[in-house]
Structure 1
């Protein structure tokens, strides 16, 4: 039997996400932005909820194209609030529009991927946790990134959301050392 991090349980969608995506270093700026937005929508919910709705989110948010979303207003907010395929939370939807604007503003000065990956000097942090109890919910680094993102105009990016984002995008390798993915993800660094 393959050993993996216990958080993904046995749901086939969750297992596939764990095995194929989670912790794999992501360096595409737009894909990073999408993941940050989805992590913001996840606040207060289980990640599996967002994962099950991810395709609907992509359709509703025009494939997470910030240059499109940045110009949205009340008609698009109303459309999204009526969409049962996504998480219908006005604050998170409005934050996504503002985050698209912040992303575009930041991108005029710096590549979003470089901005994020510079916090870890371009290389994923390789943690060697043995149990889920050792894995932090946030770190000094996630607090710093959160603060800087907020300074740049981003919302729904607190230190816990940012740490989950760092785990998902491979900025940190938090697969347990007993997990079959830990060494494979470490080699991707």
Structure 2
């Protein structure tokens, strides 16, 4: 009889580590930690390998404030976001008619999971995600054409998870990974 190998705890991503470092620095800036405690916890966060390691670095710090939903809306015309824009935790995109293009390839994404809710009437939508992102299309209702997403052959783990949901009337959603 063979024994099963012990299951290793999952390793954390760079985004998890960066979030922990930011929370420790914020805790110091708000007066929750002394300078020595901040140094010690930064060291713990930077050398952490599992979520358990991060928990000890973040112990006694206040929870992050719940983020509100950010909405981009237009009755007609184009909605276009590209370059180094800050992506909120939850993004709602509303357009009665017109094109939508969200380019997240060079955006500042501080959260390990980003929810994008589309509420589109007519017109097509295109979302470009970072090369290392994971895409999950949840409850997306389409009235006319289905959405298109080609999973990349080579993907690098550790990027953000982009979850897309909502409703589209007439038009097509195309999701693609950045080429570089």
Give the TM-score range, shorter chain.
under 0.3
Larger of the two Rg values belongs to structure: 2
What is the TM-score when the length of structure 1 is the normalising length?
0.26
* Structure with the larger strand share: 2
Which structure carries more relative contact order (alpha carbon 8 Å, separation 6+)? 1
* Structure with the larger helix share: 1
What is the TM-score when the length of structure 2 is the normalising length?
0.27
